[in-house]
């Protein structure tokens, strides 16, 4: 096991009516907030009115910036930074999913510097940020308790991330009832993303990580089991609650301690969602299947261990048979929850594969991705061809 230092300061406030804790949590930091939200779902569901009432009763002044797009963009962040600087805003409340939260984190870091916030996505180190709070409306990205922000720069459609301990949200209000309104497709994209966050951590060549391997396999198995049940009964509080918790734990760092994680499928997927705005979880279902088909021979036992556990495949079969059956079962699972499994389903044609692969590595310090298996531009091309 590798040495590690683990820290996650985000307070999770979970359950029915947990929004009532908002004023108390915000007032620890400021009486004035930038309320950041997406394209309008919170207005349709009544969550916006509920939050505005709670904040107004507590005399908290609200400055609004709505309209964050899925796969959030730099121009919106720059607008938020301008507002924070001009109006002396000291706290950002993100109400939504990963896109809103990531945009809020970027504003929080950018509001305290004079250079362009994009520099952080190119490697500049963050040394401070405004505090961010979250009301989560979709279990998916895990950004509510992660130190990451993912953003797209419209010029060049470059989707990149940065991580910093300064941008962990101070708290995340997680009321499963706020996810009842999710369209099935978004619920499924969320399931795929949280599963991917577990896969990225599970796939390591690190020895002697049995404890976290079992945590991860249990977590993966629970999402595989509960996901389709939830889609059959989307108003079931307990199922919504289980999945909401799974999404946060998938990405709060605890499951990845002591091991080198992979993250190449995420890097490849970010090129897909940077290219045509496909939902991150829908890109991941395609990439992960292709990645598994391409890399499994490099450490096949890691695959057989996983598939025999999560799909109860007979361990007496050959390793190759287990892997083939496991990947096919995973593909069936993605299809069952209505997600794409091939690039042709999301309008990514073969002719753009070379340029996506080039973009994926071109601005990295080393032209390589992947902690489980190192992948070069030629490997990324091959994986995307497997996904056709």
Tell me: does residue 41 bind ligand NZQ (CB under 6 A).
yes
96 touches which of ligand NZQ, Zn ion, none (CB within 5 to 8 A by kind)?
Answer: ligand NZQ
Name the segment binding Zn ion (CB under 5 A); options: 13-21, 38-46, 111-119, 186-194: 186-194
In angstroms, what is the minimal distance from the CB of 107 to ligand NZQ? 14
30 vs 178 by CB, closer to ligand NZQ? 178
Could you tell me which stretch among 21-29, 82-90, 189-197, 347-355 binds Zn ion (CB under 5 A)? 189-197
Stretch that binds Zn ion, among 79-87, 193-201, 339-347, 353-361 (CB under 5 A): 193-201
| Best CA proximity match to 267, nearest among 326, 330, 196, 336 | 196
| CA 223, 225, 226, 229 torsion-angle sign | positive
55, 130, 150, 198: which one binds ligand NZQ (CB under 6 A): 150
Q: Length of the chain, please?
A: 388
Single out the segment in contact with ligand NZQ by CB under 6 A; choices: 40-48, 110-118, 221-229, 360-368: 40-48
Contact between 70 and ligand NZQ by CB under 6 A: the answer reads yes
With residue 159 as reference, give the H or E element that holds it.
strand 158-163
Total of chain residues touching ligand NZQ, rule CB under 6 A: 36
Least distance CB 85 / ligand NZQ (angstroms): 23
Nearer residue to Zn ion within complex by CB, 19 or 193: 193
> Stretches 11-19, 82-90, 176-184, 373-381: which one binds ligand NZQ (CB under 6 A)?
176-184
Contact 206, 258 (CB under 8 A): yes
Query: CB of 13 within 8 A of CB of 173?
Result: yes
Pairing between strand 11-14 and 32-37?
A: unpaired
- Using CA atoms, how far residue 91 sits from 34, 59, 61, 75, 289, in Å, is 6, 15, 11, 20, 40
Q: Which of 65, 83, 138, 194 binds ligand NZQ (CB under 6 A)?
A: 138
Contact call for residue 296 and ligand NZQ (CB under 6 A):
no
**Rounded distance, CA 168 to CA 111, Å?**
16
Distance of alpha carbon 379 from alpha carbon 208, whole angstroms:
28
DSSP bridge partners of 369: 375
Nearest to 273 by CA among 263, 286, 261: 286
The CA distances from residue 332 to 169, 189, 289, 315, in Å, are: 36, 15, 11, 20
x-or-dash string of contact with Zn ion, 144-183, rule CB under 5 A = ----------------------------------------
Q: Does 166 bind ligand NZQ (CB under 6 A)?
A: no
Q: How far is CA 300 from CA 203, 286, 368, in A?
A: 11, 20, 22
User: Among 144, 193, 242, 379, which residue interacts with Zn ion (rule: CB under 5 A)?
Assistant: 193
Q: Alpha-carbon distance 318 to 93, whole Å?
A: 52
Instruction: Collapse the DSSP code of 63 into the 3-class scheme (helix H, G, I; strand E, B; otherwise coil) and give the result.
Output: strand
By CB under 6 A, what part of segment 307-366 binds ligand NZQ?
A: none
Binding of residue 66 to ligand NZQ (CB under 6 A):
no
Which residues 79-108 are close enough to bind ligand NZQ by CB under 6 A?
96-100, 102
Instruction: Tell me how crowded residue 231 is: count the other CB atoms within 10 A of its CB.
Output: 16
Binding site for Zn ion (CB under 5 A): 193
Applying CB under 6 A, which residues contact ligand NZQ?
Answer: 38-42, 45, 70-71, 96-100, 102, 137-138, 140-143, 146, 148-150, 178-179, 181-182, 186, 189-190, 193, 251, 266, 280-281
């Amino acid at each position: 096991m590798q040495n590690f230092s683990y820290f996650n300061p985000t307070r999770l406030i979970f359950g029915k009516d947990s929004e009532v804790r908002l004023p108390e949590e915000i007032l620890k930091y400021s009486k004035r907030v930038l309320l950041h939200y997406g394209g309008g779902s919170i207005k349709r569901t009544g969550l916006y009115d509920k939050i505005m009432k709670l904040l107004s009763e507590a005399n908290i002044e609200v400055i609004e910036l709505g309209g964050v797009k899925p796969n959030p963009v730099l121009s919106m962040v720059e607008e938020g930074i301008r507002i924070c600087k001009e109006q002396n805003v000291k706290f950002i409340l993100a109400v939504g999913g990963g896109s809103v939260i990531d945009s809020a984190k970027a504003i929080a870091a950018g509001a305290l510097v004079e250079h362009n916030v994009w520099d952080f996505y190119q490697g500049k180190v963050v040394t401070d940020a405004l505090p961010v709070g979250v009301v989560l409306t979709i279990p998916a990205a895990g950004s509510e308790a992660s130190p990451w922000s993912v953003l797209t720069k419209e010029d060049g459609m470059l989707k990149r991330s940065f991580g910093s301990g300064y941008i962990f949200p101070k708290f995340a209000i997680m009321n499963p009832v706020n996810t009842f309104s999710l369209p099935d497709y978004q619920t499924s994209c969320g399931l795929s993303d949280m599963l991917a966050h577990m896969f990225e951590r599970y796939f390591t060549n690190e020895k002697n990580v049995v404890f976290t391997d079992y945590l991860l396999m249990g977590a993966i198995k629970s999402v595989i089991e509960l996901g389709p049940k939830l889609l059959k009964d989307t108003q079931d509080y307990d199922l919504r609650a289980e999945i909401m918790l799974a999404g946060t734990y998938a990405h709060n760092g605890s499951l990845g301690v002591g091991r080198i994680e992979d993250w190449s499928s995420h890097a490849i997927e970010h090129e897909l969602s940077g290219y045509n705005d496909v939902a991150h979880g829908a890109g991941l279902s395609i990439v992960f299947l292709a990645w598994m088909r391409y890399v499994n021979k490099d450490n096949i036992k890691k695959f057989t261990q996983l598939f025999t556990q999560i799909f109860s495949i007979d361990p007496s079969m050959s390793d190759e048979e287990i892997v083939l059956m496991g990947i096919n079962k995973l593909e069936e699972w993605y299809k069952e929850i209505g997600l794409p499994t091939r690039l042709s389903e999301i309008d990514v044609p073969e002719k753009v594969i070379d340029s996506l692969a080039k973009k994926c590595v071109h601005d990295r310090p080393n032209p390589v991705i992947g902690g489980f298996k190192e992948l070069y531009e030629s490997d990324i091309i091959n994986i995307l061809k497997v996904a056709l």
